[in-house]
Amino acid sequence: MTLPMMTPLVKVDGLHKSYGPLIPVLKGLDIEMKPGERLVVIGPRGGGKSTLLRVMMGLEKIDSGSITFGGKPYISSDGYDRKTLIDNNVRRSIGMVFQHYTLFPHLNVLQNLILAPCKVRGDKKADATERARALLKRFGLDAKANAYPAQLSGGQKQRVAIARALMLDPKLMLFDEVTSALDPELVGEVEQVILQLAKQDMPMMIVTHDMWFAKNIASRVIFCAGGVVVEDGPPEQVLGSPKEERTKDFIDRVFHIRQ
């Protein structure tokens, strides 16, 4: 990362978004993320966590507010005709992994990995294949290069999905509840891969309900509820001894601790 230390990697300013005229989801979200940070977003369902990530990926329109990436404008809204302006070049430096396996079922693992590098960036097929094989090897999937998604377990599919996103050398990774749909026994192998990325200082934004994982990976935790940031701080604070009543309530319930 060649950015000066003080320029935030991501700066979300007054983000508003509603689904239709009646269902507001984000009600003025402000988040600043420094380079190298691993931001974990926790909170109740419907609190806007996943929507925030989808907006970050450019998958949703916004009502108002703006997002900058590495100091450059990325997403903004044109107040007059409610248009959302997204800089596609910036978008390409962000990778995302979803809750439901989104591997393309008609392509095998290797083809899933090289599709975007070859078609979007114009990489040579041989080069992309070589990089894909290296990545698969790192994730313990080299034996599955020619398998189709239907032949993989949920954990393997998610690891392939992570590898696929990494093929484009993202400067920020978004993980949207990537272990929620998995069998409990497969959660570990996926989290290991993400922890491995964390060791290499990959900036990431993670939405999760797994508090153990949150504690292990976060450099900062944000508690999001009702479409706003309720609490924002280091993991020891937000997960251990939250200052806000609303956060405390949530953390207590999640850990089943009633005092």
Partner 1 sequence: MNYSFDFASVTNNLGPLVKGLVVTLQLTAAANLMGLTLGFVLALLIMSRCSVIRLPAMLFVEFFRCTPAIVQIVWFFYCVPMLFNVFLGSMTMGILALGFNLTAFNAEAYRAAIQNVPREQLDAGIALGLNPFQRVLYIILPTAFRASIPVLLTNGIVIFQQSALVAIVAVQDLMYQGKTLATETYRPIETFTIIALVYFAVSFPVTQIVGYLERRRQLLMS
From 30-38, 137-145, 162-170, 215-223, span contacting partner 1 (CB under 8 A) = 162-170
Choose the binding region for partner 1 from 38-46, 65-73, 75-83, 157-165 (rule: CB under 8 A).
Answer: 157-165
Of residues 91, 133, 215, 246, which one binds partner 1 by CB under 8 A?
Answer: 91
User: Does 148 contact partner 1 by CB under 8 A?
Assistant: yes
Say which DSSP state 183 is in.
-
Tokens of 257: 């601790």
Tokens of residue 216, six digits: 């292990």
Residue among 150 and 257 whose Cβ is closer to partner 1: 150
Q: Least distance to partner 1 from the beta carbon of 102, Å? A: 4
**Which of the ranges 29-37, 56-64, 180-188, 242-250 carries the binding residues for partner 1, by CB under 8 A?**
56-64
Nearer to partner 1, 3 or 115 (CB): 115
Q: Are strands 23-33 and 10-19 parallel, antiparallel or unpaired?
A: antiparallel
Closer residue to partner 1 in complex, CB, 95/242: 95
Length reported for the chain: 259
Tell me which of 12, 31, 57, 222 binds partner 1, using CB under 8 A. 57
Nearer to partner 1, 8 or 58 (CB): 58
State how far the Cα of 55 lies from the Cα of 174, in Å rounded to an integer: 11
Taking the complex as a whole, how short is the minimal distance between the CB of residue 180 and partner 1, in angstroms? 13
Q: Which residues, other chains included, contact 15 with Cβ-Cβ below 8 Å and sequence gap of 6+? A: 26, 28, 29, 30, 52, 55, 62, 64, 65, 66, 67
Classify burial at 243, counting beta carbons within 10 Å of its beta carbon; exposed 0-12, middle 13-18, buried 19 or more: exposed
Binding status of residue 102 toward partner 1 by CB under 8 A = yes
Q: Are 110 and 145 in contact (CB under 8 A)?
A: yes
Which candidate, 32, 202, 168, 181, places its Cα nearest to that of 95?
168
| 119 scored as a contact of partner 1 (CB under 8 A) | yes
Site residues, partner 1 (CB under 8 A) = 54, 57-59, 88, 91-92, 94-96, 98, 100, 102-106, 115-116, 119-120, 148, 150, 161, 164-165, 168
